[in-house]
Homo-oligomer: A and B are copies of this chain.
C-alpha cells in the first residue's frame, strides 16, 4: 500500500474534536477524492454509501424539478455533503455538482455510524448544523413567494453576507456562478435572470467579474429586498 496523504481533519469542524487515536483508526478507511469543476459527486437517486466532507472548493446541491432545476444550497469547505441521505439510509434526494475544483474526505456509511455511535458530541454538531439549514430553508421557502427581482436581491444580499469581502469599490463575492446557476438558485429561467442582471449592471448596482460578483450598491439591493 502506497503512502497516503494525511486526512485534513482540522479543516472539517464536525470531525475536528476527534482525538489522535480516533483519527488513526479512521484515516485508513476514508477516501480522499478530487473533483474537477462541473464533476458530479453523486446523483439524485444514487444509494448513499459514503458521506462526504468538503475541505476545498464549493458544491451545489441540485434537485431536478418538473420543468426546470433548482439549486437547494451551496456548500463550502468544512461542510458535510449528503449527510441527511446517509443518516436516513435512503438514496440521495438531490445531486451534488462541483462549482469549482473540489476535494472531499469520503467516509463509508458504516464507519460514519460507528463514529457517531462512539462520539455523541458529533451528533450534537450535526444537530446544530441541521437546525441552521432548516431555518435557512424556511426563510427561502417564504421568500419564494416574492418577485424574481426580490428573490435575486435576497440571493446576493445573503451571498455578500456569507462570503463577501469589503473593497473600496464595494463588496466582492468570490464565487463564479453562471446565469443558469443564478436562475436555478431563485427558481426562474435563464432569460429573466439575465434580464435582471443586465439591468442592475446598467444601474450600477452589481457587476459580473471573471471570478465572482462586485456589488457596488448594497443599498440598491436592500431597497428592493428590505432584509427582514
Q: Which residues of A contact B (CB under 8 A)?
A: 63-68, 70, 72, 84, 87-88, 93-94, 120, 123-124, 126-128, 130-135, 137-146, 150, 187, 225-226
Contact = CB atoms under 8 A, between A and B. Distances in A.
A41 to B, nearest CB: 17
A130 B132 contact: no
Nearest to A145: B187
Contact of A67 (B87, B133, B145): B145
B139 A141 contact: no
A88 B135 contact: yes
- Interface of A: prevailing SS: helix
B187 A87 contact: no
A94 B130 contact: no
B187 A135 contact: no
A70 B137 CA distance: 13
A138 B123 CA distance: 22
Q: How many copies does the complex hold?
A: 2
Nearest to A61: B138
Contacts of A66: 143, 145-146, 150, 225-226
Given A72-B142, A93-B135, 12 more contacts: A64-B142, A65-B143, A67-B146, A84-B131, A84-B135, A87-B131, A88-B128, A88-B131, A123-B124, A134-B134, A137-B138, A137-B141
B187 A138 contact: no
15 contacts: A63-B142, A66-B145, A84-B134, A84-B135, A87-B128, A88-B135, A93-B139, A94-B138, A120-B123, A130-B130, A130-B131, A134-B137, A141-B144, A144-B187, A145-B187
Contact of A133 (B65, B70, B124, B134): B134
A138 B67 CA distance: 16
Q: Which of the listed residues A67, A134, A187 has the most CB atoms from chain B within 10 Å of its own CB?
A: A134
Which 6 A-B pairs give the minimum distances between C-beta atoms? Answer: A63-B142, A145-B187, A84-B131, A65-B142, A144-B144, A137-B137
